[in-house]
Amino acid sequence: MDFNQERITTVHDFRIDGKTIMSSLEELAEERPMTLLIPMLYEEIHGNSLDNIIDCINESTYLSKVIIALAAENEKKYIEVKNFFSRLRIPYTIVWCNGPTVAQVIEELKERGLDITMFSGKGKDTWISLGVASLDSYAIGMHDADIVSYTKLMPAKLFYPIVEPDLSFFFNKGYYARIDMDNLIMYGRVCRLFLNPMLNALLEKTKYSSNFLKYMCAFKYPLSGEFGMTSDLAINIRIPGDWGLEVGLLAEVYKSTALKRISQMDLEFYEHKHRSIGDGSEGAIQKMIKDITKTIFRNLVEVDGIDINEAFLQSANVLFKRIAQDRIRQYHADAMCNGLNYSRHAEECMVEEFSKIMFASGKEYIDYPSGVLLPDWKRAISAMPDLREKLKDAALHDYNTYK
């Protein structure tokens, strides 16, 4: 455990008293209502996480609402999810984001001149549900639906720095140790072996002149899906529509608010499902790295005006491999001292693979530099002033119709 501060405020868990925080949130809830947003796939009701998550949320009585941002293939699966959440005692809304009723609203938005029909997946689902959540919330917290190690303190930690008037941060990012303590395995491969070395390589390549890269490096776990933010910030930022969601969101926060209004909070140990490396170029982790690479490059151009060409890419890739290999030696030492199961060879092989994907993705970005960002909600509201209300009504319609 450390007590270091970064360019953004780091809130460590030295001795956080969960009862005190939750009691404070209860008092603040009337003036600063809080909505918890959970994006999820239908399949996750059959996992080993959501039962415990619901039990913990039921104890989080400071919450004014829970919004389930659901992706389900058909009416039958929607009904299963609806029945699954029937034991949730906190008021909740299920937004069937890829269902026909919501799709009809999105088509109406297209007719108004704003087309987001080409988007799909978690980014679009998050965008839709943030709009609904922002209608009557001061703060919005979000986390995934596959967290095995979930506790009732987790959402409280996401909200507290946002709604406590003596702090009043606009954005709070969760971070944690990705260690499986049962099997003694160190996870977080994409963050440890790709994103952190990549950011540091780019920082070195730009001669440490990029404040954007320094900001990104200040986050202890930039790929975490857990965060809290004010509703005002939520409707003023763009949401990435691909697997670059987490880093793209951090980039949008950087462009939209002062560093002193941004914090990160220690969520301790964290366990959820682990994605396989996959075989094809569109395998889960490959696709994630591809989209993250393009997101970082696009923001380097937008924020710092860096010229991304093939020569830049080649030297950045060489620096990336050197830094990633240095990290492997460091993680090996950490693992040995903590008795973790760790294979330097396997991690070296991953870095080789990550390097190839980074270079290929960089070349794709150079050829096609356009981004995949959904519009901010301010623009969407200007195109269709009652869009949020219509999406909320669509969710209510589905809930009352499909039984």
The angle, 0 to 180 degrees and rounded to 10, between the axes of the packed helices 387-401 and 100-111 is: 160
Kindly report the average pLDDT of the chain as a whole number.
94
Q: What is the pLDDT of residue 150?
A: 94
Please give the pLDDT value at position 284. Answer: 78
Q: What is the pLDDT of residue 281?
A: 40
| Distance (Å, whole) CA 387 – CA 393 | 10
pLDDT at residue 326 above 60?
yes
User: Contact, 398 vs 99, CB < 8 A?
Assistant: yes
Query: Is the pLDDT at 198 greater than 70, yes or no?
Result: yes
CA-closest candidate to residue 153, choices 246, 5, 25? 25
Helix (H, G, I), strand (E, B) or coil at 232: helix
The answer on pLDDT for 54 being more than 80 is yes
Q: How confident is the model at residue 178 (pLDDT cuts 50, 70, 90)?
A: confident
Q: What is the mean pLDDT of residues 21-40?
A: 97
Q: How far apart are CA 239 and CA 373, in angstroms?
A: 6
63-90: per-residue pLDDT in tens?
A: 999 999 999 999 999 999 999 999 999 9
How high is the pLDDT of residue 241? 83
pLDDT higher than 60, residue 390: yes
- Identify the pLDDT of residue 279: 40
pLDDT digits 0-9 by tens, 335-344:
999 999 999 9
- How many Cα atoms occupy the beta-carbon half-sphere of 374 within 13 Å? 31
Q: What is the pLDDT of residues 241-261, one digit of tens each?
A: 888 899 999 999 999 999 999
Q: Which residues contact 330 (CB under 8 A, 6 or more apart)?
A: none
pTM greater than 0.85? yes
Instruction: Find the DSSP H helices in 221-376.
Output: 231-234, 245-256, 284-304, 310-338, 344-367
* Residue 165 to residue 146: CA distance in whole angstroms: 31
Domains by residue range for the chain, with CATH: 9-401 (3.90.550.10)
Checking if the pLDDT of 146 tops 50, the result is yes
Per-residue confidence (pLDDT) for residue 280, from 0 to 100: 42
Mean pLDDT of 287-310: 94
**How many alpha carbons fall within 13 Å on the CB side of residue 383?**
18
Instruction: Report the C-alpha gap between 336 and 82 in whole angstroms.
Output: 46
Residue 371 scores a pLDDT above 80: no
Residue 185 has pLDDT above 60, yes or no: yes
pLDDT digits over 299-316, tens only?
999 999 999 999 999 999
